Structure 1
Amino acid sequence: MKPSPLLIRLLLIACASALAVSAARIWWPGIAGGIAKLWWTGLALLTLAALLDFATGRHCRGLSGRREHPGNLALGVDEAIQLTLFNGGSRPLSLQVTDQVPAELRWAGLPVRMQLNPQQEIVTHYTATPVRRGLAAFGYIEVLASSPWNLWQRKVLLGENQDAKIYPNFLGISSLQALSTEQTLRYMGVHQQQRRGEGLDFRQLREYRRGDSQRQIDWRASARMQKLISREYQDERDQEIIFLLDCGRRMRARDGDLSHFDHALNALLLSAYVAIRQGDAVGLQCFAGSHSSLPPVKGEGSINLLLNHVYDLHSGTAHSDYTAAAEQLLARQQRRALVILLTNVRDEDSEDLTAAVQQLSRHHLVMVACLRERALDELLEAPVVDFDAALMHSAGKDFVQRRGRLLQELKARNTILADALPSEMHMSLVETYWQLKRSGKL
């Protein structure tokens, strides 16, 4: 139990009136005795009331509460957390309700004040927004219950500890599950290149359509069905895509509300989802701080396996060693695959990065997905108004030019590039994968 704001105000008034009584003894000694008796009477009444209120309000029998929230949360997506309180006691309760929210969530709408009558149940909500991936641990529901005369407050812990997993923003994936691959790509705004020729894998027989090539016609089936029947092909399946994910200190840079690492994870998951829908297997290897890995997986449930593998991954402070990452991948991955390196490229990486790409290219098809820093674009677009701004502009332009030369050097070595702002990397990555798939290079 602790004194309520009302009791504290009353005690402050009593102290101020005590000073007034002391002043009256000096200035009005004739009436000071009567004023003093009134003050002592009031103090005695306040003390008695406080003691009685303490005795009757020290227990909150019958008060219970529970919390309801989704077990899986998505980074950056608002969620409504429901708190339910029930008063099974015999007296009304004046409550101030808050929650022990994990540090991984930003919340709004707490505390909540309510009046809970006997045998009454009240449901309230507050909004929580995940700001960091991983396991979030909710504590208890904290309630400050006032005594009958509001002179005391008792802290009561209700409910139980609960956990929730905070994943990368997978809502984009769940909204695409009912769509075909072509519909998914159109929904994402990805430009689909016209396929040159047919795919490599036979899919099915169907009736001839205008525009089908003569090579597609199955003459034996046509003779049997007494009408033209065409063979339909599809892109080659059962290929492997390995994401080589940089977890180094550069990926800690922020673009909007998310870090480069979180943007890279979102791009990885969406492109992995498209690849799995195409029948390919997707694997993962992390480097620079984390050495987590996942062998290539395919089929239904693979995207959930990938989500559960990466939801608590975070970037660290280690330096990104591309050569060591390439050697580690080559030791594990024997079958030819599309290796997608997700990183933040800078010109000082030239020697290490080109050596790693050259080493990987001997056995695999290599794509470098570069997260371009939005701050550089904003710096170059800003007006030059003074000498300091001119120096910053010149330095930024020099940095961009040196970075561009590194990308050109990688391109000259037949490395596939996907260079985009972090918020646009998912579209660039999916579009580049789809072009490779359609071209037959994969």
Structure 2
Amino acid sequence: MILLAAGAPLALLLGVLLPHLWFVGLVWVPLALTLIGLDALFTSSAPDFNLQFPGSVEVGAPLVVEIDVDRSGSVRPALEFAIATGPRLIPRADDRVRLGPDEASALLAFTAIRRGTDGLRQLWLRWTGPLGLVWRQRVETITRNVVITPDIRPVRNAAAMLLRDAQIGEMARVDRGEGSEFDALAEWQSGMERRAIDWNHSARHLKLLARENRIERNNQIVFAIDAGRAMCEPVAGLPRIDRAITAALLAAYSALKLGDRVGLFGFDSKPRIASGTVSGTRAFPLMQRLAGELDYSTAETNFTLALATLAGDLTRRSLVVVFTEFTDQAGAELMIRAAANLMKRHLVLFVVLEDAELEVIAAAEPRAIDDVSRACAAAAMLRERRIVVSRLRHLGIHVLEAAHDAVGPALVRQYLDFKRRNLL
């Protein structure tokens, strides 16, 4: 079309300057059509190619698709590939890639934004003829699926470092001397607490002996993850619930590694997942699989039913870590009442993600009347959030607020601090 349109002004100019040669302009149309036909006739067939990509990817991680093209033929046209995916995969940059005549492979990257099963749906391949006047296109349906699992990259990267620091430094010191289980008797030395002196054994041996204790093993930690509507809102491109699952799995692996028992509890309008408690690092794949089954929900969270059910399932004192988000005062009031009943027997920790977007809106310099309205609304929401956090802490409930990319390590440090202080 561009080629045919380009001849129109030339024909018009020829008719104006040389009116007796006006018929020469008519030759342009059949000439252009002939060139297009020859280009289509001599266009080479599509080369063979192969797609390589993993069968599973973690949410938030890149899915890299490698395209290998067979360039063994004598004709090597420039190629353009495009791939269509499902709603859980989005392109990181462009959803198409171009290969020059001498290039045999290319990479396309997508980001997994939600857990579940998705995949590549269709592939488009197109290339031009030797004159570059026509495009040929080939469409293929791709039937391979991709399983999007919870993100355990922090478990592989950060858990080893956190536990190494704990075992070499703080936890080695805490393991003996500050726990609740008796470990050994040692001669009392200056600097030891006087309440650690065992007077009966000291009288028997005619010297001061102190009791050395160790951290109690086999504690019970339950990660309760809110899967309601508010937790499905995105934070930095991923739903809050996926951020919570990643942090919970990191802390769960750390607890299993240190000999404690771990359980997973998921809920929205009603309880969805209750794993019971497991021990040992071999149970971590089970925790990962159950966390992956916790689906996204549009229902409002029923804290009263969920936390009452959880309290009824727990037969011993436990650390209950609740991942949630505060949205309105009415829902927060019910949550506070349910949490107050839960903390009568258990140690309760609420984990919430910092809302950086609200803070930016509230602190932004207003340039229009709409900016003032948005800033006032954001400031009111932040104020209500701080009120809820203050009320929880006033009741004796621990609250951990952290950024989405730091909540996992912060939770592990809080868990180690509870062990150090013998609160579990």
TM beyond 0.5: yes
Equivalent position SS for 2:79: strand
Partner amino acid for 2:219?
Answer: Q
Corresponding residue of 1:297: 278
Letter in 2 for 1:354: I
**Match of residue 227 from structure 1:** none
Counterpart code for 2:264: L
- Summarize the alignment of residues 62-81 of structure 1 with structure 2, pairs less than 5 Å apart: 63-78=47-62, 80-81=64-65
Q: What secondary structure, in the 3-state scheme, does the structure 1 residue paired with 2:177 have?
A: coil
Following TM superposition, by how much is the alpha carbon of 1:322 offset from its aligned partner in structure 2, in angstroms? 0.6
Counterpart of 2:219 (choices 239, 253, 265) is: 239
**How many angstroms apart in 2 are the aligned matches of 1:418 and 1:78?**
29
Q: Which residue in the other structure is 2:110 paired with? A: 128
Change (3 A) 1:154 1:233: farther
- CA distance in structure 2 between the partners assigned to 1:323 and 1:297 by the alignment: 25
2:97 is equivalent to residue 112 of structure 1: yes
Instruction: Give distance in 1, aligned partners of 2:5 and 2:167.
Output: 69
Q: Give the Å deviation of 1:377.
A: 4.5
Conserved in 2, the CA contact under 8 Å of 1:245 and 1:286? yes
Q: Which residue of 1 aligns with 2:79?
A: 95
Distance of 2:238 and 2:119 partners within structure 1: 21
Structure 1, residues 259-305: CA drift from partner, whole Å, max 9, x if none? Answer: 43333223222211211211223222222268531413332343333
Partner Cα separation in structure 2 for residue 326 and residue 335 of structure 1? 15
2:321 corresponds to 1:328: no
Distance between the aligned counterparts of 1:55 and 1:178, measured in 2?
A: 62
C-alpha separation between the residues in 2 aligned to 1:198 and 1:397? 43
Q: Give RMSD over aligned pairs.
A: 4.4
How far is the alpha carbon of 1:86 from its aligned partner?
0.8
Residue of structure 1 aligned with 2:324, choices 333, 338, 343: 343
Sort the Cα spacing of 1:57 and 1:162 in 2 relative to 1 into closer, same or farther, 3 A.
same
For 1:94 and 1:414, locate their aligned partners in 2 and report how far apart those are by CA, in whole Å.
67
Report the CA distance between 1:215 and its aligned residue: 8.7
1:277 corresponds to: 257
The answer as to 2:15 corresponding to 1:30 is no
Give the AA of the match of 1:439. R
Task: Show the counterpart of 2:129.
Answer: 147
* 1:93 alignment partner, SS class: coil
CA deviation after TM superposition for structure 1 residue 325, in Å: 0.9
Q: How many angstroms apart in 2 are the aligned matches of 1:391 and 1:272?
A: 42
- Give a deviation string over 1:195-232, Cα, whole Å, max 9, x none: 7834456899xxxxx9999999xx9xxxxxxxxxxx99
Structure 2 counterpart of 1:129, one-letter code = T
| Consecutive unaligned residues in structure 1, runs of 5 or more | 1-7, 205-209, 220-230
Structure 1 residue 77, shift from structure 2 partner: 4.1
Kept after mapping to 2: 8 A contact 1:270/1:426: yes
For the 8 Å contact 1:281–1:298, the answer to whether it is kept is yes
CA distance in 2, matches of 1:84, 1:12: 38
Q: Tell me which amino acid in the other structure corresponds to 1:124.
A: A
Question: Partner residue of 2:346?
Answer: 364
Between the aligned partners of 2:264 and 2:278, the Cα distance in structure 1 is 10
Match of 2:39 in 1: 53
Task: Summarize the Cα distance change of 1:413–1:130 in structure 2 as closer, same or farther, 3 Å threshold.
Answer: same
- AA of the residue aligned to 2:257: R
For the residues of structure 1 that align with 2:380 and 2:22, how far apart are their CA atoms?
85
Q: After alignment, is 308-317 or 332-341 more displaced?
A: 308-317
1:50-97 per-position Cα deviation (integer Å, ceiling 9, x unaligned): 33433343743xx22122234443444445432111135453323222
How far did 1:137 drift?
0.6
Structure 1 Cα separation of the partners of residues 95 and 311 of structure 2: 52
Measure how far apart 1:238 and its partner are.
2.9
Q: CA deviation at 1:323?
A: 0.1
CA displacement at 1:102 relative to structure 2: 4.2
**8 Å contact 2:273–2:294 — kept in the other structure?**
no
Instruction: Describe the SS at the equivalent of 1:87.
Output: coil
C-alpha change, 1:156 and 1:388, in structure 2 (3 Å) is closer
Cα distance, 1:304–1:410 mapped onto 2, change above 3 Å: same
Counterpart of 1:439 in structure 2 is 421
User: Which residue identity lines up with residue 149 of structure 1 in the other structure?
Assistant: L
Give the structure 1 partner of residue 68 of structure 2.
84
1:128 positional shift: 3.1
Matches within 5 A, 1:421-436: 421-436=403-418
Whether the aligned pair in 1 keeps the contact of 2:307 and 2:338 (CA below 8 Å) is yes
CA contact (8 A) 2:260 2:279 kept: yes
Match of 2:208?
none
Letter in 2 for 1:302: A
**Cα 1:385–1:43, aligned 2, differ >3 Å: closer, same or farther?**
closer
Counterparts of 1:336 and 1:266, CA distance in 2: 25
Deviates more, 1:123-132 or 1:195-204: 195-204
Task: Give SS of 1:142's match.
Answer: strand
Whole-angstrom CA distance in 2 between matches of 1:191 and 1:390: 50
Distance 1:31 1:44, change over 3 A: closer
Q: Which amino acid aligns with 2:223?
A: F
> Following the alignment from structure 1 to structure 2, what is the Cα–Cα distance between the partners of residues 426 and 303?
16
Q: What secondary structure is seen at the aligned counterpart in 2 of 1:100?
A: strand
Contact in 2 for aligned 1:192/1:435 (Cα 8 Å): no
Report Cα offsets for 1:225-274 as digits up to 9, x if no partner: xxxxxx99753333332222112222244444444333322322221121
Contact 2:350–2:398 under 8 Å retained in 1 = yes
C-alpha distance in structure 1 between counterparts of 2:76 and 2:376, whole Å: 70
Distance, in Å, in 1 between the alignment partners of 2:20 and 2:362 is 84
Q: Deviations over 1:324-380 (max 9, x none)?
A: 112332454444432211112354335312321233235533222233433555566
> Match of 2:3?
10
Q: How has the CA–CA distance of structure 1 residues 32 and 294 changed in structure 2, closer, same or farther, with 3 Å as cutoff?
A: same
**Equivalent residue for 1:207?**
none
